[in-house]
Structure 1
Amino acid sequence: MSTNLLTLEAVQTHIGAYHILHGVDLAVPRGQLTMLLGRNGAGKTTTLRTIMGLWHASQGRVRFGDKDITALQTPQIAGLGIAYVPENMGIFSDLTVKENMLLAARGAKNAGQIDDTRLKWIFKLFPAVEKFWNHPAGKLSGGQKQMLAVSRAIVEPRELLLIDEPSKGLAPVMINNMIDAFAELKASGVTILLVEQNINFAQRLGDTVAVMDNGRVVHSGSMAAFSADAQLQQSLLGLAL
């Protein structure tokens, strides 16, 4: 079995007339949390969307384990055990928290059919999901919506989570709660690829890091080594951690 759960090989992505990804090489080790860093516009979100099949690579390969998923449609990719939490969270505001969760639990026809053990685990990770179970999702705070978005992604067992800027706009206490939850998710064996701008978040959670610039991965390695190299941080991100 490969040590990498997800591999991108020379991936290029065009969106209309725009050439966004220029040959992305990326390896996401199995059972680890990989941080995807880079300046705004570097191609991080496009990379996640390409993996998920929302946009298709014009060249290169995306592999999940030993399976080539480059040309698969998004529902097929999701069926392999990959979940995506977009930056805008994708919450259905007019539906309750329970109804949002039920939509993601494809094997359940009603809330009573959602795996009870798994649901209790999610409630432990994100108590707000249980507290506001019957409330309209649109009434939740930004942090609570983010917790719901991640909860939806894991309501069924997943091998890989793709998460785009989960700490954006959150209060520090919410960020700490999110860090604790992701640490527990990782400990459960889930592999995570996470785009993040919050450097403290990245340092505390990341096992490995990949830095993008101009549609390419320009650095990859351990998060600990990257955190210890202020000169490298400055050259790649324009700031020091």
Structure 2
Amino acid sequence: MSNDLLTLEGVHTHIGAYHILHGVDLRVPRGQLTMLLGRNGAGKTTTLRTIMGLWKASRGRITFAGQDITALPTPQIASRGVAYVPENMGIFADLTVRENMLLAARAAKNASQIDEQRLKWIFQLFPAVEKFWNHPAGKLSGGQKQMLAVSRAIVEPRELLIIDEPSKGLAPAIINNMIDAFAQLKASGVTILLVEQNFNFAKRLGDTVAVMDNGQVVHSGSMKALAEDEGLQQSLLGLAL
């Protein structure tokens, strides 16, 4: 059996008249954290949205846990154990933190039915979620909203967590907290696919990496190897570290 939980083979995506993905090949190994890097406009967010079925692949194949999910609607993909945190976080601002969490806990009819042990674990990862439990989510800071978005994604057990730019706009202290939380999630057995622009964030967390440019994956391999090769960083990402 393949060690890859998620694979994309030759995936093309059109949005209206625009051809955004040009044959994406991507492998996400089970139990690892895979970084998806690239310049702005490279196709990273489109890749995540295509995996989730929010935009349909016009060609190619997407496989999750050995099953073809290319043509499945988004709710069916999610029900297989895939959670997606978009760049805009998708927080319901007028609802409390508790109500946001309850919406994501599909098996619970009220907050008391959310798995108590799992909730305690989430509170340990993100103390702000417990602190602001009864506060309107719209009143939270950017970092606290990001913590809530990830907490919603993991309030039920997931096999794969897909997150788009979790460190964007966050203070360094919050970023360190987020890194610790993702490391704990990975240690718990969750497979993570993470789009990130912060290279220092990426190299601290990533096991494997794929770099996109112009709608294709142009490099894949070990995150450690990329982090140690400044010439490769410069050519792929335009970075001078």
- Fold agreement, TM-score > 0.5: yes
Instruction: Identify the residue that residue 82 of structure 1 maps to in structure 2.
Output: 82
Query: RMSD of the TM alignment (CA)?
Result: 0.5
CA distance in 1, matches of 2:14, 2:85: 22
Distance 2:140 2:234 in 1: 37
Is the counterpart of residue 211 in structure 1 residue 211 in structure 2?
yes
> 1:5: which partner in 2?
5
Shift of 1:177: 0.2
Distance 2:139 2:132 in 1: 9
Equivalent-residue separation in structure 1 for 2:209 and 2:73 (angstroms): 27
1:240 CA drift (Å) = 3.3
Partner of residue 34, structure 1: 34
Which residue number in structure 2 is paired with residue 197 of structure 1? Answer: 197
DSSP-derived class of the 1:58 partner: strand
Unaligned runs of 5+ in 1: none
Aligned twin of 1:158: 158
Q: Distance in 2 between matches of 1:4 and 1:157?
A: 19
- The one-letter amino acid paired with 1:98 is R
The equivalences for 1:226-241 within 5 A come to 226-241=226-241
| Distance across 2 between alignment mates of 1:145 and 1:220 | 31
The within-5 A match list for 1:1-241 is 1-241=1-241
Question: How far is 1:2 from its partner?
Answer: 1.6
Report the TM-score when normalising by structure 1: 0.99
SS at match of 2:57: coil
Question: 1:8 Cα shift?
Answer: 0.1
Q: Which amino acid is 1:177 matched to?
A: N
Cα deviations across residues 58-104 of structure 1 (Å, max 9, x unaligned)? 00000001100000000000000000000000000000000000000
Distance in 1 of aligned mates of 2:207 and 2:109: 38
CA distance in 2, matches of 1:131, 1:81: 28
**Paired amino acid for 1:78:** A
Opposite residue 35 of structure 2, the aligned amino acid is M
Give the match's secondary structure for 2:129.
helix
Structure 2 length normalisation: TM-score?
0.99
Q: 1:180 is paired with a residue of what secondary structure?
A: helix
Equivalent residue letter for 1:9 = E
In 2, the alpha carbon distance for the partners of 1:148 and 1:2 equals: 33
Segments of 4+ in structure 1 off by > 3 A? none
Report the residue type matching 2:193 in the other structure: L
What amino acid is the match of 2:74? T
Q: Distance in 1 between matches of 2:28 and 2:145?
A: 27
